[in-house]
């Protein structure tokens, strides 16, 4: 993984330290006690993690520790600037390690997943064809160029794989096989929490000589994710969904397209040389090429701190705890009269801690308002920035349940670190009283 965008005088940064990989063997050191606890407000139940996860204690601590030292990043000779530069680049290394970045991959800090995927869309080689699905979040639907192939929402993981195979075979037909193709797919749906078959889709993409980018915004907070293990080319995440809500995300992936394209933003930090003539500019290679301007140091450090804490935690135990809460939530909703869950795949398909549902005969916005105002429970209502998918699932839910009185939008409850069985039960007890 390439990390530096300019030399760091008088600072020793462990650029070549052996990479730590997810799934490595051997015991893991325990995380610092309380590090993965999340901040909250007494009396308020937060079941809206899929929109913005609460702040992990370790992220808040990392920011508080660095704030007295806050100064410029890169090219500064003072002690404060040197420390901040070191913290920024160490955060880049940590994020890359957490996401299984390969030695030649870039880790580019962005604002969020949407920003990361827009960056990737900007660096596509001329003539690249993009293939995605109608089930994507808008961040993985809207940035791509005209001519993008949007496949219908599949009924199962297997049908997603078959549809992609057929689409790529058709795109390759009649060409010399060298035209660039990018497959863009989610890792886990932000509407249903269902996990997509990324490993199988990656295999199909490679078989047809295509690259694959994964929107991991909803996947990375819940399960280990590695570009190396998944054999994908690009991965995008958001810090605000990964318990580091300080305005930073990342695009991790292959360097060649990133180094060949014009900078995402033109400005200081992206330049290696600027001459007197307007267009006499040489751009940097590496992550800095696309990080012009003063970077979000505190956001990067917060994200790195959470990644480090999660990488030393018992992820299997965390996943098991979340799955138990998810099962409690889904079975409880099923038992409530008039409540219908939205789903794309079969009920037993793997999923993370996200459930969308409707209450028959009740406007979802009104239900969410009552839950908030009378019960102190925060859930999301709407179409969740995935309008094509949400509308389709609402229509399917109406047909499946035989109910003609389902609302036009849905409710979404989402959980993660810090969620408890008591919070789930409070929601389940409150819903029948919303009349």
Catalytic residues: 385
Q: Report d(CA 38, CA 59) in Å as an integer.
A: 9
Query: Cβ-count burial of 404 within 10 angstroms (0-12 exposed, 13-18 middle, 19+ buried)?
Result: exposed
Closest alpha carbon to 344 in 208, 225, 190, 209? 190
Query: Cβ-count burial of 350 within 10 angstroms (0-12 exposed, 13-18 middle, 19+ buried)?
Result: middle
- The DSSP string of 384-400 is TT-HHHHHHHHHHHHHH
Q: Report d(CA 155, CA 121) in Å as an integer.
A: 27
Residue 196 contacts residue 157 (beta carbons within 8 Å): yes
Q: Report d(CA 392, CA 153) in Å as an integer.
A: 9
Asked whether the CA dihedral 140, 55, 52, 427 is positive or negative, the reply is positive
CB neighbours of residue 406 within 10 Å = 22
Closest alpha carbon to 355 in 416, 404, 403? 416
Who contacts 205 (Cβ-Cβ below 8 Å, separation ≥6)? 164, 168, 181, 183, 211, 212
Residue 369 contacts residue 412 (beta carbons within 8 Å): no
Q: Report d(CA 234, CA 102) in Å as an integer.
A: 11
What kind and span of H or E run contains 382?
strand 380-382
- The pairing of beta strand 354-359 with beta strand 106-110: unpaired
């Amino acid at each position: 993984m390439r990390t530096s965008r300019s030399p760091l005088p008088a600072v020793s940064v462990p650029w070549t330290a052996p990479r730590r990989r997810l799934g490595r063997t051997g015991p893991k050191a325990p995380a610092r006690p309380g590090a993965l606890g999340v901040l909250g407000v007494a009396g308020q139940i937060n079941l809206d993690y899929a929109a913005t996860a609460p702040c992990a204690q370790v992220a808040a601590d990392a920011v508080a520790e660095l704030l007295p030292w806050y100064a410029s990043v890169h090219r500064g000779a003072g002690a404060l600037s040197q420390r901040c530069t070191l913290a920024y680049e160490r955060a880049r290394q940590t994020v890359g390690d957490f996401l299984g970045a390969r030695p030649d991959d870039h880790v580019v800090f962005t604002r969020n997943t949407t920003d990361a995927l827009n960056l990737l869309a900007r660096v596509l080689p001329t003539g690249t064809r993009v293939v995605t699905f109608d089930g994507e979040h808008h961040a993985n639907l809207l940035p791509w160029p005209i001519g993008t192939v949007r496949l219908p929402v599949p009924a199962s993981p297997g049908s997603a794989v078959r549809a992609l195979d057929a689409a790529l075979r058709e795109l390759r037909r009649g060409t010399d096989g060298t035209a660039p193709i990018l497959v863009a797919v989610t890792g886990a749906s932000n509407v249903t929490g269902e996990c997509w078959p990324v490993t199988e889709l990656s295999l199909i993409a490679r078989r047809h000589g295509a690259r694959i980018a994964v929107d991991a915004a909803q996947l990375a907070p819940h399960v280990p994710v590695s570009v190396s293990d998944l054999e994908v080319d690009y991965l995008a995440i958001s810090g605000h969904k990964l318990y580091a809500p300080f305005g930073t995300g990342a695009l991790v992936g292959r360097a060649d397209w990133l180094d060949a394209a014009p900078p995402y933003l033109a400005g200081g930090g992206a330049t290696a040389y600027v001459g007197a003539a307007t267009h006499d500019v040489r751009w940097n290679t590496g992550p800095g090429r696309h990080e012009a301007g003063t970077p979000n140091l505190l956001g990067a450090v917060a994200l790195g701190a959470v990644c480090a804490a999660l990488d030393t935690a018992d992820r299997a135990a965390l996943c098991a705890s979340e799955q138990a809460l998810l099962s409690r939530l889904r079975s409880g909703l099923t038992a409530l009269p008039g409540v219908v869950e939205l789903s794309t795949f079969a009920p037993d398909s793997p999923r993370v801690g996200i459930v969308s549902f409707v209450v028959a005969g009740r406007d979802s916005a009104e239900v969410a308002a009552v839950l908030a105002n009378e019960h102190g429970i925060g859930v999301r209502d709407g179409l969740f920035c995935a309008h094509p998918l949400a509308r389709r699932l609402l229509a399917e839910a109406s047909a499946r349940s035989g109910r003609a009185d389902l609302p036009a939008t849905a409710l979404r409850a989402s959980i993660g670190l810090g969620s408890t069985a008591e919070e789930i039960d409070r929601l389940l007890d409150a819903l029948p009283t919303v009349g």
